[in-house]
Chain A
Amino acid sequence: MILQRSRPPLLETPMSVFDQSVFTPNDQFFVRWHWADIPTSVDATTFRINVHGHVVRPLSVSLTELLAMPRVQMAAVNQCSGNSRGLFQPRVPGAQWAHGAMGNAMWMGVSLRHLLDVAGVRPGALAVRFGALDQPVVAGAPDFSKSLALDHARDGEVMVAFAMNGEQLPLLNGFPVRLIVPGWFSTYWVKMLNDIEVLDKPDDGYWMAKAYKIPDTPMANVSPTDKDYPTVPINRMVPRSWITSIAGDHPVAWQPTLPIGGIAMGGDTGVSRVDLSSDGGRTWRPAQLGPDQGPYSFRRFDGVVPIRGRGAIPLMTRCTSTAGVVQPMTPNWNPGGFMRGCVETTTVTFG
């Protein structure tokens, strides 16, 4: 792991990990916390999830009760809103992640819809807010919470997960339960989830109204000199792809062709195709896709590209989602460093 900050912890997954499997091992899964006051111990026997607010029957759900509820399982990529922020030009403040603020796991848990149905959502409900055990260090600072529109929260895919790749979640990844919001950025995947509040009015809290806002433009893209554009809370992810088989960090002997492989994601839907280029994006050839683990998972790709000469060769991958969205060549930019989605280049020097 790459330590970006120890307090509160920011841990980045090295790209080489993603070459091993489309599923990211629990002990190498990226970690990001907002506040330093994280419980360092959680008692499984006393933990409760409170479901309250605009409901018929407020609940206090023990983990034993949660484990006994109907289960759902799904592979899904958890990606930080600011993944790849360190590559923004001009540079922007915030955690200077490369591409490793993401991971993919097989999540198992209980559908949020089931919990909400047991509680009985009352007419007039608009949104569901999620709170957790972590607390601000400073009194009066905004406690971390996020919310989803009621229809989204009840779509049957949003999950209260207690298992990650078949095991309980590591504490730093949110033990005992975290919210899984397939296709949406990680800011909504609340860790150590212990509070589910049904709201009958929009969530005007800091973490929805002020933080994690993106320009309301295609690809959340603005010019560095733009001001006063409309913004919206960050939401769906976009297609991305990365070469993981070669890092370009040292020269390799020239060869007429090079096998390259990596991982792709469709964003809020599946991967339709991945194309490869070794000539700066002038020509592309399709890669072969690996097994389909579901629309929200990473998908492996492999292919071979021609290496036309010696020297520095830009290798590129371009994902097309099943919705037909294609990664653009030009990087998007916004002052938060959010939602990077362009074609990435790995430059390899052939000697």
Chain B
Amino acid sequence: MSKSRTPLSTGMSILLAGGLTSVILIGAIAGGNEPRGRKMVVPPVVPAAPVAPPPSFVSASGFTLTSASIELPDEASSFPDGPGADVVNANCTSCHSASMALTQPRLTEAQWHSTVVKMRETYGAPIAVGDIDAIVDYLRAMPSQATPAGAAAGLAVNEGDGATG
């Protein structure tokens, strides 16, 4: 397969595996190599840093559901530089990572045009009509679109194709 695949970062794996961030308190250990007979300096008692309360939960009939939270990674989501990159960044990345476009197989101009129009008209991307061609040009010029194993010429393009599922 020629698809580009990125291993999930360790950080995200941990997030996915654990979901909740645990707070580890490391207590200071007094003592050590103090010279005999010398008064040991005892640090003043410092109030413990506030610890987040345990998450709330509900429980009934032997099953418990505990409130959950997660931090999602903030991927650098801008598109690589190139003609039209500014308009692509301004119109596409509020809804999805650049990777969604960068991992697409080679598509025909009609397929890219249909995709951009769908993003604008169906999914509400704030694309000005006059910018559609510039976005299509940028997407077709992405290095990932240069691979020869591409879409067949003469492919019919139907409204609503792809991009879901």
- Does A155 sit at the interface, judged by CB under 8 A? no
Across the interface, which residues of B come within 8 angstroms of A96, CB to CB? 3, 103-105
Taking chain A's interface residues, is the majority helix, strand, or loop, or is none over half, making it mixed?
loop
Of the candidates A6, A43, A44, A92, which one forms a contact with B162 in the assembled complex, judged by CB atoms under 8 Å apart?
Answer: A92
Given the interface pairs A81-B164, A93-B115, the reply to whether A2 lies near B5 with Cβ below 8 Å is: yes
Answer whether residue A82 sits at the interface, using C-beta atoms and an 8 A cutoff. yes
- The reply to whether the CB of B117 lies closer than 8 angstroms to some CB of chain A is no
CB of A232 to closest CB in B, whole Å: 13
- Once bound together, how far apart are the Cα atoms of A228 and B85, in whole Å? 35
Inter-subunit contact A211/B164 (CB<8 Å): yes
Given known A67-B59, A138-B126, contact A176–B65 (CB-CB < 8 A): yes
Verify A140–B124 contact, CB threshold 8 A: yes
A114 to chain B, nearest CB (A): 14
Interface string of B1-13 (1 = CB under 8 A from A): 1010111110011
Contact of A40 among B71, B103, B161 (CB under 8 A): B71
Secondary structure at the B interface, as helix, strand, loop or mixed, is: loop
Of A9, A36, A80, A86, the residue contacting B3 (CB under 8 A) is A86
In this complex, how many residues of chain A approach chain B with their Cβ under 8 Å: the count is 75
Whether A171 and B70, one on each chain, are in contact in the complex, defined by CB atoms closer than 8 angstroms, is yes
Q: Please tell me if the beta carbons of A175 and B68 are within 8 angstroms of each other in the complex.
A: yes
Instruction: Count chain B residues whose beta carbon lies closer than 8 angstroms to a beta carbon of A.
Output: 65
Asked if B96 is an interface residue, CB under 8 A from chain A, the answer is yes
Q: Are A68 and B60 in contact (CB under 8 A)?
A: yes
* Residues on A with beta carbons closer than 8 Å to the beta carbon of B56: 43-45
- Let me know if B123 and A335 touch, CB within 8 A: no
B155 contacts A224, CB within 8 Å?
yes
Q: Is A253 an interface position by the 8 A CB rule? A: no
Q: Does A90 count as interface, using CB distance less than 8 angstroms?
A: yes
Of A49-57, A162-170, A235-243, A294-302, the segment with at least 4 beta carbons within 8 Å of chain B is: A162-170
Can you list 29 A-B contacts with CB-CB less than 8 angstroms, sorted by A residue number?
A1-B8, A1-B13, A2-B7, A3-B8, A3-B12, A4-B5, A5-B100, A6-B12, A6-B72, A36-B95, A36-B96, A42-B67, A44-B68, A64-B58, A64-B59, A82-B165, A91-B106, A93-B111, A96-B105, A138-B126, A142-B123, A162-B63, A163-B63, A170-B16, A171-B68, A172-B16, A172-B70, A176-B68, A227-B158
User: Residues of A at under 8 Å CB distance from B?
Assistant: 1-9, 11, 27, 32, 34-36, 38, 40-45, 62-65, 67-68, 71, 80-83, 85-87, 90-96, 98, 108, 136-142, 162-163, 168, 170-172, 175-176, 185, 187, 206, 210-213, 224-227, 335-338
